[in-house]
Chains A and B, each alone.
Chain A
Amino acid sequence: MRRLLAFLMIAAVSLASGPSKADPVDDAVTALSSGSFDSVHEGVGQLVASGSPRAAAIIGSLQNGKLYFRPDHTLFIKQDDGTYVGALTGTPAEAGAVKPVKVNNAIRGAMDAALGALRLFSPDAATRMTAAEAVFHAADPAALPALTKALEKEADPAVKVRMQQARAAVVLASPDGAEADRVAAVGVLRARGDIDARGFLASLSDQPPAVAAAITSALTAIDRLAQIWSVGQSIYYGLSLGSVLLLAAAGLAITFGVMGVINMAHGEMVMIGAYTTFVVQQFMRAHTPGLYGASLLFAVPLAFMVSGSIGIVIERTLIRWLYGRPLETLLATWGLSLVLQQAVRTIFGANNQDVDTPPWMSGATALGGLTLTWNRMYIILFSAVVLAGLMAALRYTSLGLRMRAVTQNRRMAAAMGIRTPWIDALTFGLGSGIAGMAGVALSQIDNVSPNLGQSYIIDSFMVVVFGGVGNLWGTTLGALTLGIVNKFLEPVAGAVVAKIVVLVLLILFIQRRPRGMFPLKGRAVES
């Protein structure tokens, strides 16, 4: 890779020299179309060194898996519409029987470095940013002249900082250079202070004593800072786990907490929500590809309706016969959960279904030393919205009023003209619908398989019992507490032990406070 970049820099800096002797491009093409990983690796270097104006396009298409070769050493780039263009000419060509040029991790690394260096002078700031980062990772001394030139021209302050960091890495990686320069470079990376900078600094060996001392102190400083950030990071992890638990448990807080129905099929309502997401995505991919990025927004209300109506059907056909008989309810809903699982398995197959994550939910952003993943951020947000919506519905709508009336005093409510059986069905439907919405969120972080619900049912019951049955605030606080405690224990004790410890703590807590953190009070409860 080093040599490759050396060639590349010469090519990039002295573009004027133009193509010279025997045709290095031909050699590169021969290597790229050889079918062996080592030759392709070399070919990438040769191509860049040749200074061919098509280098960036060819390497770019190789990176995207669009570069094909014919046994007679001709290269083609496949277009999106399935036709081919000649790789060197860029004009449409008849390809015939071609095979894709295959790459491995080593070639992928070389391509990243090569494209990074080629794109340092790109007009687009974001491209230059990625390019500088690629140069930082490659840390090739040969990149110094180009980097210095790019730094002089750079106007964007953020990109400039990135380029300075890349330059620091390059300075430290080169075998010669003034000691003061190197110490200053260590300072730049110390200021960067992230895990990549730490990894790079730690990898340096055979440095002069002054530089080595600077590196050691920089590593200590980075580690100390990382330790402080890691507390914040653990809190974020805990919040995100808590929000997932909250989503899964919010529906149960209604069906179990408010109605007192032990619904073992609750997890399957979540699973049905996730499958609804899958179906919505399939449908939209086929019929409205333009709106595909927003498929989750369509899935949320649909999942609510699908799971909610299934919930209403279950209540009307099964649960209403079992009120006041918790053991029978438990067994019947168990059976139901098995039926639902197997039904889904029969319809969709036993395999996981591929639910896409839209681009706006992929990746992560950094906030200081924190890594915040977008999918988790949106789930935290989503659970807050769901919770707020649920509370508002219970507090301000007439259905909510009736629900509260029925749960507080069923006979009085009936005497006031409320059709209590109908309210029961709607309440159960509401709880199931919320479980369905949770399924949409879970489809983004977990398997969409018939077993999806199983893994959340126990946790959901834990949250509801811990928080205090019948209290949404309790459920919220319970979910967040469990999430955060779990995430602080995990690095210390390991994931398996952390789970056990949380369970034991919970049991002890329930021994002391059988009704959870926020028990309901009042005569209705006491009786």
Chain B
Amino acid sequence: MAITEPTISRRGLARLGAAAATVAAIGAVKTAAAAETSGTIKVGILHSLSGTMAISETTLKDVMLMLIEQQNAKGGLLGKKLEAVVVDPASNWPLFAEKARQLISVEKCAATFGCWTSVSRKSVLPVFEELNSILFYPVQYEGQECSRNVFYTGAAPNQQAIPAVDYLMKENKVKRWVLAGTDYVYPRTTNQILEAYLIAKGVAKDDIMINYTPFGHSDWQNIVASIKKFGSAGKKTAVVSTINGDANVPFYKELGNQGLKATDIPVVAFSVGEEELAGIDTKPLLGHLAAWNYFQSVDTSINKSFIDAWHAYTKKPTRTTNDPMEAHFIGFNMWVKAVEAAGTTDSNAVIDAMLGVSVPNLSGGYSAMMPNHHITKPVLIGEIQADGQFNIVSQTPGLVVAQEWSPYVADTKDLIGDWRAPLHCGAFNVKTGHCTAGKKA
């Protein structure tokens, strides 16, 4: 998923300067410390700790530190201790690439866990491919990508958006759809896929309304009013929201104030989790939905111990857990397992060893790394409760395999990604039999 162009580029520039200076100073100290303790395996953490994305990404940095600490308590990896190298790309997309280069070339990190926005991932992608290193990307995203050097532990559209739409069609008999999103690549691609899917399911074009808003949009009055109007055509209507982070709070507040109840027009969101709800009074939002692969309210013993460990680590018994945290939990455990299997942290060996690795997820099953570098996941639909948690109302019976290239988009419907021998290709056209992109060097 992902977020915000800096609203004011000049400010961004200033922030970049300040942040770069700070990080350079911290980096210098870190490298000095690292030199003394040779014999460690370094793990890069590339999440924004300042700027607009800090709200979401800081938590992921914390969970990575916790996982690394836990692994060290278990005796480390290959007989060595793990060492976290934290950098702050400051919500600045070009800086992500710079920091990634630093993590790989200077710090010699064996693997990097990071990025949130799609644009930050796109920015670091060439760096990881050029330097042949490994990135674990933990956030649900729009798909249409399959790099050899990236492991996508978040959901592809068919692991989140499409099951959610199916649920509304089946359970709520929804006939009319509002696709509302923030104006950038993730919502646009997801809505393109969803529109094609709905039309394939027999929904008339007139029954689909698409609406985009700028980042951080805070005045939702007439958009909510127009959704209400769209919903008064006598057919059951639902909103599929790809509205991003910051804009959600005012959106939900306006929904509540204009009295749009979930029993009338349910809103299903793909970017709203426990973290986002922590900032609002959820009573008016009762029953609105979210689709994820994990909720904090999942009732399993492994999830309970994860939450307990998280509260103990952060010393805050109210800190919430969320879906991208679970993705890091899975990704990190997979990486540990693959390194143990390969007996080395060498990128090529680990990338090959990753395929087929299977580790427990927090919802009580096992997630496996598929040849397309995406993982299998259950899809959960939750309704917002008064306490800001989700009441799980639907769960796919089995695990869903990711479709990295959407079959609902004309350009990509014949593509598959398969990094096993002998194909070794991120975008293989099954019709022509050619590898169109991402061939192993």
A binding-site residues for B, Cβ under 8 Å: 37, 65, 102-106, 108-109, 112, 137, 195-196, 198-204, 226, 233-234, 237, 240-241, 244, 264, 331, 334-335, 337-338, 341-342, 345, 349-354, 356-357, 362-364, 371, 373-376, 445-451, 454-455, 457-458, 487, 490-491, 494-496, 499
Evaluate whether A446 and B226 lie within 8 angstroms (CB atoms) in the complex, with A65-B385, A105-B287, A454-B8 already known: no
Q: Is the CB of B214 within 8 A of A499?
A: yes
Q: Is the CB of A371 within 8 A of B217?
A: no
Q: Is the CB of A446 within 8 A of B249?
A: yes
B binding-site residues for A, Cβ under 8 Å: 7-8, 10-11, 14-15, 18, 49-50, 52, 54-55, 58, 171-172, 183, 211-214, 216-219, 221-223, 225-226, 228-229, 231-235, 246, 249-250, 253-254, 256-259, 262-264, 266, 275-276, 278-281, 284, 286-287, 383, 385-386, 391, 393
Q: Is the CB of B263 within 8 A of A109?
A: yes
Instruction: Compute how far the CA of A338 lies from the CA of B15 in the bound complex, rounded to whole angstroms.
Output: 7
Q: Is the CB of B232 within 8 A of A198?
A: yes
Q: Which residue of B lies closest to A204 (CB)?
A: B234
Instruction: Compute how far the CA of A198 lies from the CA of B232 in the bound complex, rounded to whole angstroms.
Output: 6
A-B contact pairs, 20 of them (CB 8 A): A104-B287, A104-B383, A109-B263, A137-B264, A195-B229, A196-B232, A334-B10, A334-B14, A335-B18, A345-B54, A351-B55, A352-B276, A364-B259, A445-B219, A445-B250, A445-B253, A451-B216, A454-B52, A458-B8, A494-B212
> Among B50, B225, B258, B280, which residue has its beta carbon within 8 angstroms of that of A345?
B50
Instruction: Compute how far the CA of A496 lies from the CA of B247 in the bound complex, rounded to whole angstroms.
Output: 14
Q: Is the CB of B256 within 8 A of A495?
A: no
Q: Which residue of A lies closest to B4 (CB)?
A: A451
Instruction: Report the minimum CB–CB distance from B173 to chain A (whole Å).
Output: 10
Q: Is the CB of A451 within 8 A of B52?
A: yes
Evaluate whether A363 and B234 lie within 8 angstroms (CB atoms) in the complex, with A449-B279, A451-B52, A454-B7 already known: no
- Chain B neighbourhood of A445, CB < 8 A: 218-219, 250, 253
Instruction: Compute how far the CA of A350 lies from the CA of B263 in the bound complex, rounded to whole angstroms.
Output: 33
Q: Is the CB of A241 within 8 A of B281?
A: no
- Chain A neighbourhood of B232, CB < 8 A: 195-196, 198-199, 202
Q: Is the CB of A351 within 8 A of B279?
A: yes
Q: Is the CB of B250 within 8 A of A447?
A: yes
Interface of A, helix, strand, loop or mixed by DSSP: helix
Instruction: Compute how far the CA of A204 lies from the CA of B233 in the bound complex, rounded to whole angstroms.
Output: 10
> Among B218, B225, B264, B280, which residue has its beta carbon within 8 angstroms of that of A354?
B280
Instruction: Compute how far the CA of A337 lies from the CA of B66 in the bound complex, rounded to whole angstroms.
Output: 32
Q: Is the CB of A350 within 8 A of B385?
A: no
Q: Is the CB of A199 within 8 A of B233?
A: yes
Q: Is the CB of A65 within 8 A of B386?
A: yes
Instruction: Report the minimum CB–CB distance from A221 to chain B (whole Å).
Output: 14
Q: Is the CB of B171 within 8 A of A106?
A: yes
- Chain B neighbourhood of A104, CB < 8 A: 171, 287, 383, 391, 393
Instruction: Compute how far the CA of A496 lies from the CA of B246 in the bound complex, rounded to whole angstroms.
Output: 16
Q: Is the CB of B279 within 8 A of A352?
A: yes
- Chain B neighbourhood of A342, CB < 8 A: 50
Q: Is the CB of B250 within 8 A of A200?
A: no
Q: Is the CB of B279 within 8 A of A354?
A: yes
Instruction: Compute how far the CA of A362 lies from the CA of B385 in the bound complex, rounded to whole angstroms.
Output: 19
Instruction: Report the minimum CB–CB distance from B369 to chain A (whole Å).
Output: 31
Give me 4 other A-B pairs in contact (C-beta within 8 A), A102-B391, A373-B221 excluded: A195-B229, A195-B232, A237-B219, A240-B219
Q: Is the CB of B54 within 8 A of A112?
A: no
Instruction: Compute how far the CA of A59 lies from the CA of B319 in the bound complex, rounded to whole angstroms.
Output: 32
Instruction: Report the minimum CB–CB distance from B280 to chain A (whole Å).
Output: 7
Q: Is the CB of B281 within 8 A of A354?
A: yes
Q: Which residue of B lies closest to A373 (CB)?
A: B257
- Chain A neighbourhood of B226, CB < 8 A: 491
Instruction: Compute how far the CA of A455 lies from the CA of B219 in the bound complex, rounded to whole angstroms.
Output: 12
> Among A335, A345, A449, which residue has its beta carbon within 8 angstroms of that of B246?
A449
Q: Is the CB of A448 within 8 A of B221?
A: no
Instruction: Compute how far the CA of A351 lies from the CA of B274 in the bound complex, rounded to whole angstroms.
Output: 11
Instruction: Compute how far the CA of A201 lies from the CA of B263 in the bound complex, rounded to whole angstroms.
Output: 18
Instruction: Compute how far the CA of A264 lies from the CA of B386 in the bound complex, rounded to whole angstroms.
Output: 39
Q: Is the CB of B284 within 8 A of A447?
A: no
Evaluate whether A448 and B385 lie within 8 angstroms (CB atoms) in the complex, with A490-B222, A496-B183, A496-B212 already known: no
Instruction: Compute how far the CA of A37 lies from the CA of B279 in the bound complex, rounded to whole angstroms.
Output: 29
- Chain A neighbourhood of B266, CB < 8 A: 105
Instruction: Report the minimum CB–CB distance from A204 to chain B (whole Å).
Output: 7
Instruction: Compute how far the CA of A76 lies from the CA of B84 in the bound complex, rounded to whole angstroms.
Output: 49
Instruction: Compute how far the CA of A264 lies from the CA of B14 in the bound complex, rounded to whole angstroms.
Output: 12
Q: Is the CB of B55 within 8 A of A375?
A: no
Instruction: Report the minimum CB–CB distance from B17 to chain A (whole Å).
Output: 9
Instruction: Report the minimum CB–CB distance from B376 to chain A (whole Å).
Output: 26
Instruction: Report the minimum CB–CB distance from B32 to chain A (whole Å).
Output: 24
- Chain B neighbourhood of A241, CB < 8 A: 219, 221
Instruction: Compute how far the CA of A89 lies from the CA of B50 in the bound complex, rounded to whole angstroms.
Output: 56
Q: Which residue of A lies closest to B52 (CB)?
A: A451
Evaluate whether A199 and B231 lie within 8 angstroms (CB atoms) in the complex, with A102-B391, A105-B383, A495-B214 already known: yes
Q: Is the CB of B386 within 8 A of A112?
A: no
Instruction: Compute how far the CA of A50 lies from the CA of B191 in the bound complex, rounded to whole angstroms.
Output: 47
Q: Which residue of A lies closest to B320 (CB)?
A: A351
Evaluate whether A240 and B221 lie within 8 angstroms (CB atoms) in the complex, with A105-B263, A449-B246, A495-B214 already known: yes
Q: Is the CB of A202 within 8 A of B279?
A: no
Instruction: Compute how far the CA of A15 lies from the CA of B286 in the bound complex, rounded to whole angstroms.
Output: 33
Closest CB pairs A-B (n = 3): A352-B279, A202-B234, A203-B234
- Chain B neighbourhood of A37, CB < 8 A: 393
Q: Is the CB of A105 within 8 A of B172?
A: yes
Q: Is the CB of A454 within 8 A of B11?
A: yes
Q: Is the CB of A237 within 8 A of B222?
A: yes
Q: Is the CB of A105 within 8 A of B218?
A: no
- Chain B neighbourhood of A338, CB < 8 A: 11, 14-15, 18
Instruction: Compute how far the CA of A137 lies from the CA of B55 in the bound complex, rounded to whole angstroms.
Output: 40
- Chain B neighbourhood of A446, CB < 8 A: 218, 249-250
Instruction: Report the minimum CB–CB distance from B108 to chain A (whole Å).
Output: 29
Q: Is the CB of B222 within 8 A of A491?
A: yes
Instruction: Compute how far the CA of A337 lies from the CA of B385 in the bound complex, rounded to whole angstroms.
Output: 37
- Chain A neighbourhood of B231, CB < 8 A: 199
Q: Is the CB of B225 within 8 A of A351?
A: no
Instruction: Compute how far the CA of A507 lies from the CA of B340 in the bound complex, rounded to whole angstroms.
Output: 62
Q: Is the CB of A203 within 8 A of B235?
A: yes
Interface centre among B54, B233, B257, B383 (most CB of A within 10 A): B257
Q: Is the CB of A334 within 8 A of B249?
A: no
Q: Is the CB of A237 within 8 A of B221?
A: yes
Instruction: Report the minimum CB–CB distance from B331 to chain A (whole Å).
Output: 22
Evaluate whether A335 and B14 lie within 8 angstroms (CB atoms) in the complex, with A362-B284, A371-B258 already known: yes
> Among A105, A331, A356, which residue has its beta carbon within 8 angstroms of that of B14?
A331
Instruction: Compute how far the CA of A357 lies from the CA of B280 in the bound complex, rounded to whole angstroms.
Output: 9
Q: Which residue of B lies closest to A339 (CB)?
A: B18
Q: Is the CB of B55 within 8 A of A352?
A: yes
Interface centre among B58, B172, B217, B229 (most CB of A within 10 A): B229
Instruction: Compute how far the CA of A233 lies from the CA of B228 in the bound complex, rounded to whole angstroms.
Output: 14
Q: Which residue of B lies closest to A498 (CB)?
A: B214
Instruction: Compute how far the CA of A112 lies from the CA of B286 in the bound complex, rounded to whole angstroms.
Output: 13
Instruction: Compute how far the CA of A65 lies from the CA of B218 in the bound complex, rounded to whole angstroms.
Output: 31
Instruction: Compute how far the CA of A496 lies from the CA of B215 in the bound complex, rounded to whole angstroms.
Output: 9
Instruction: Compute how far the CA of A445 lies from the CA of B281 in the bound complex, rounded to whole angstroms.
Output: 12
Q: Is the CB of B8 within 8 A of A350?
A: no
Instruction: Report the minimum CB–CB distance from A246 to chain B (whole Å).
Output: 14
Instruction: Report the minimum CB–CB distance from A449 to chain B (whole Å).
Output: 6
- Chain B neighbourhood of A226, CB < 8 A: 229
Q: Is the CB of B279 within 8 A of A353?
A: yes
Instruction: Report the minimum CB–CB distance from A175 to chain B (whole Å).
Output: 17
